[in-house]
Chains A and B, each alone.
Chain A
Amino acid sequence: MREMILMIPSVLMMAAPILIAAMGGLVSERAGVVNIALEGLMGIGAFTAATVHFFLESSMGPVSPWAAMVVAMAVGMAVSLIHAFASVSLGADQVVSGTGINLLAIGVPVFLSQIIFKMERTEPFRLGLMPGPGGIYPTAWIAVAIVLATWYLLYRRPLGLRLRACGENPQAAAGAGIDVIRLRYGAVMASGALAGLAGACIVLTQTIQYTQNTINGAGFIALAAVSFGRWTPKGVAGASLLFGTAVAMAIFMVNVEFMRFLPPEFFSVLPYVITLVTLVAFSGKDWAPRAAGKPFEKGRS
């Protein structure tokens, strides 16, 4: 039991980025755009944050990680514009354009690292974000704030109602005078910013530099959390916490005495297996926003 309580800070550290990215995916899908690029946007956010923090650390001290997070958000948002332009303005296949960003995100950070740092990763910084009381990182509180804000926005504001309408029936929404294109752009950009922030959270709490393995599927897990959580903030938050726990367990269990007979790969693979099993067990098309993944064309009935 004591181990369980000791694990809570690590679980929160692992779950927070998944939660933040998943909220972005949720907003985007509720507006009708599937954002499979979460993984790539997180990678770009993580690289941006690691680089910015490395250069600002000596001059700005404890403010530097926060500045890095803000820049990562901005860059994530800017890159997500590609996805928004392709899928909203041109009605492109959202999976293809998202995959394009994911492929770009394999290359761009390492390319830039080679230019800036002359190696295939960023130069390590000295200190990341510092944990607060109870060993809990501020990223956990950011995640909680984002979940509450998402819920409030989606269900308690007219904007949220309109956004959800765009994901269910964009033609009807347009008929009611809602600017579907603009709202979808906004939703994709919000998801880009949140994914960038999530990437920054990973790099600033779990490691000291960006490498090709920093994200390691967390964005895809967040994407799965959106569908497992049945497209509601509460459900997605629960799913993200579950997946975050699985990731944290993977690290913790290796050190637990009676689990030693199992190989470390067994624990590494757990989060992905759990994600896959829950995806299959809870799949059902009735829960997805009806127009998610479908391009919106004006004047089409």
Chain B
Amino acid sequence: MEKNRKKPQASDLLAAFIASDGRMSILVVLLGLLCGTLIVLAVGRNPGNMFAALLQAMTGWDATRGVWNIRYVGEWLAVSTPLVLCGLSMAFAARAGLFNIGAEGQYIIGLTIAQFAALYLPKVPGLHAFLAIVLAGLGAAAWGGLVGWLKARWNASEVVATIMLNYVAYYLSRWATMQIPGANTYKTPSLPQSAQLDLPFLKDLTNGSTLNAGFFIAIASVLAFWWIMEKTRLGFALRATGFNRDAALASGIRANRSAVTSMAIAGAFAGLAGAVVALGSFGYGRVLGGFDNYGFNGIAVALVGNSTGLGVGLSGLLFGLLTGAQPLMQSRGIPKEITLIISGLVVVFVSLRAGLRMVLAWKRPLPATAGADGATAVADTGSEAPDA
């Protein structure tokens, strides 16, 4: 690693921002919020209302009416849970050099299996919910692993394959759920209490919010992600494949098996997200009427979190804040889709980030920032995308 220290300049400050993934992510998010503010201004609404909604979602403090209710904090954490898990799904595949747009479909499979398990497994308290979650994770792992296998065996583009499987999962879920006796076109009979994830102490703590045991599943998943990636031989093999597939192959890593394993584990994370939403948010099974978009937002979560465990956890909370603030914005006269626009802008800025870095590196050699850089791993997948 070369060192050429000179007098600090403005460009050095910029370079320092660009060299650190974490700081860059903060910059990207701030840019997204800034553009969102400008858009709200451009359509003649008051961006102050947007920030008031965000403040209320984060702290429970309603600045317009001067009331405080901690329930909003609980809802924020509750809605962050599936976002963190879907972000982990995207991130896990990205670290192995794959672009998993299929978290939405894997999420749907997990959700559907959890609903079936809740309705049909014996109602043993504790065990019932646990089994439902495990089955959802396994089912979604198989769904994700299928894409890895298609990629490994036939070199089918995982981007197109996962997108198509999202739609397949959606219609499959609708059809299967409507077969349940007593189900109509939008819901099934109520799920038994033994399958639900709500914890009385969390409910008391957050004034009756929907925050539930799923939040602990997300924390455990973040830790598991970190442990698998950084501390196990499997994680090392996956990261090596993500960095340089040929080099990994040459050093005896079976890259094809890596594709299946990483997509299966990615699927499991998204499946857990589905199970948490199915067993935690509603008292009944849902016949989906459209995508829940947790999986798609997971892409933004992973990109902002630089595909590391902790990073995804934090950015999941951030996007959870945006999602949690949606109804509060709508009631303040800001169309709630502004949060989707901000997510999209953030992803666009993330893509510019990699490019900006490249331009600067070309103009002036920067110290190598590779290390545990998830963004680099993501950047590598682009070259494989057209192999369809």
Q: Which residues of A pack against B, CB within 8 Å?
A: 29, 34, 36, 82, 85-87, 89-97, 99-108, 110-112, 114-115, 212-213, 217, 220, 223-224, 226-228, 263, 265-266, 268-269, 272-273, 275-276, 279-281, 283-285, 288-289, 292-295, 297
Q: Are A272 and B290 in contact (CB under 8 A)?
A: no
Whether the Cβ atoms of A285 and B172 lie closer than 8 Å is no
| Docked-complex contact A279 and B340, CB < 8 angstroms | no
Q: Which 9 A-B pairs have the closest CB atoms?
A: A90-B355, A107-B340, A227-B388, A104-B344, A103-B344, A100-B347, A100-B348, A97-B351, A114-B335
30 pairs of residues in contact across A and B, judged by CB atoms under 8 Å: A96-B350, A96-B351, A96-B378, A96-B379, A99-B347, A100-B344, A100-B351, A104-B340, A104-B348, A107-B341, A111-B341, A213-B290, A217-B163, A217-B167, A223-B160, A268-B171, A269-B167, A272-B168, A272-B171, A275-B164, A276-B165, A280-B156, A280-B161, A283-B156, A283-B388, A285-B155, A288-B386, A289-B386, A292-B386, A293-B385
Which residues of chain B come closer than 8 Å to A228, judged between CB atoms? Answer: 388
Complex contacts, B101 vs chain A, CB 8 Å: 99
B 40-61 to A, binary, CB cutoff 8 A, 1 in contact else 0: 0001000000000000000000
Interface status of B201 (Cβ within 8 A of chain A): no
Query: In the complex, A273 Cα to B160 Cα: how many Å?
Result: 12
Least CB distance, A199 to chain B, in whole angstroms: 17
| B387: interface (CB < 8 Å) | yes
Give the contacting residue for A288; candidates B296, B381, B388; CB below 8 A: B388
Assuming the A-B contacts A89-B355, A224-B388, A276-B165, are A101 and B296 also in contact, with contact meaning beta carbons closer than 8 angstroms in the complex? no
Q: Would A92 and B351 count as touching, CB distance under 8 A?
A: yes
> CA A96 – CA B348 in complex, angstroms?
7
Min C-beta distance of A164 to chain B, whole Å: 14
User: With A220-B164, A283-B157 as given contacts, are A34 and B359 in contact (CB-CB < 8 Å)?
Assistant: no
Describe B's contact surface by its main secondary structure: helix
A36 to B335: give the CA distance in the assembly, Å.
27
- Please name all residues of chain A whose beta carbon is closer than 8 Å to the beta carbon of B335 when the two chains form the complex: 110-111, 114-115
Give per-residue flags for B114-155: 1 if the beta carbon is below 8 A from chain A beta carbons, else 0. 000000000000000000000000000000000000100011
> Within 8 Å CB of B386, what residues of A?
29, 34, 227, 288-289, 292-293
Contacts of A217 in B (CB 8 A): 163-164, 167
Nearest Cβ in chain A — how far from B86, in angstroms?
13
What 8 new A-B contacts, CB under 8 Å, besides A86-B351, A101-B348?
Answer: A91-B358, A92-B355, A95-B385, A104-B340, A106-B296, A111-B340, A220-B163, A272-B168
Complex: how many Å from CA A226 to CA B335? Answer: 36
A111 and B338 within 8 A (CB): yes
Least CB distance, B338 to chain A, in whole angstroms? 6
Can you name the residue of chain A whose Cβ is closest to the Cβ of B333? Answer: A114
Q: Does B303 contact A (CB under 8 A)?
A: yes
Q: Mark B48-83, 1 if CB is under 8 A from A, else 0.
A: 000000000000000000000000000000000000
- Majority secondary structure, A binding face: helix
Residue of B nearest to A85 (CB): B352
Mark B338-378 against chain A: 1 for CB-CB distance below 8 A, else 0.
Answer: 11110111111111111110110010000000000000001
The docked-state distance in angstroms from the alpha carbon of A103 to that of B388 is: 22
Task: Give complex CA distance A101, B345 in Å.
Answer: 8
Q: Is the CB of A96 within 8 A of B156?
A: no
Bound-state Cα–Cα, A269 to B187, Å: 21
**Which of A107, A272, A273, A283 meets B344, CB within 8 Å?**
A107
* A94-B382 contact, Cβ under 8 Å, with A36-B159, A265-B175, A272-B164: yes
Measured between beta carbons, the chain B residues less than 8 angstroms from A280 are 150, 154, 156, 161
CB-based contact B155/A283 at 8 Å:
yes
A269 touches B347 (CB 8 A): no
Decide if B266 is an interface residue (CB 8 Å cutoff).
no
CB of A102 to closest CB in B, whole Å: 8
Interface membership of B20, Cβ < 8 A: no
Q: Among the listed A86, A93, A106, A295, which residue makes an inter-chain contact with B381, where contact means beta carbons less than 8 Å apart?
A: A93
CA distance A37 to B19 in the complex (A): 28
Contacts of A102 in B (CB 8 A): 296, 344
A273-B337 CB under 8 A given contacts A265-B175, A288-B387:
no
Q: Which residues of A contact B303 (CB under 8 A)?
A: 96
Question: Are B293's CB and A106's CB within 8 A?
Answer: yes
CA distance A212 to B335 in the complex (A): 15
Q: How far is the CB of A300 from chain B (nearest CB, A)?
A: 9
Q: A96-B382, A101-B348 are in contact. Are A279 and B157 (CB under 8 A)?
A: yes
Given A92-B352, A92-B355, A107-B343, residue A279 in contact with residue B168 (CB < 8 A): no
Q: Which residue of B lies closest to A273 (CB)?
A: B168
A93 touching B337, Cβ below 8 Å: no
Residue of A nearest to B300 (CB): A103
Asked whether, in the complex, the Cβ of A212 is within 8 Å of the Cβ of B387, the reply is no
CB proximity of B230 to chain A, nearest CB, Å = 24
Q: Report the separation of the CA atoms of residues A92 and B303 in the bound assembly, to the nearest whole angstrom.
A: 13
Whether B340 contacts A103 by the Cβ 8 Å rule is yes
Q: Closest B residue to A300 by CB, please name it.
A: B362
Residue interface mask B304-334, A partner, CB < 8 A = 1? 0000000000000000000000000000000
Is A111 within 8 A of B159, CB to CB? no
List residues of chain B with CB within 8 A of the CB of A265.
171-172, 174-175
A-facing residues in B164-216 (Cβ within 8 Å): 164-165, 167-168, 171-172, 174-175
Q: Are A293 and B382 in contact (CB under 8 A)?
A: yes
Q: Does B384 contact A (CB under 8 A)?
A: yes
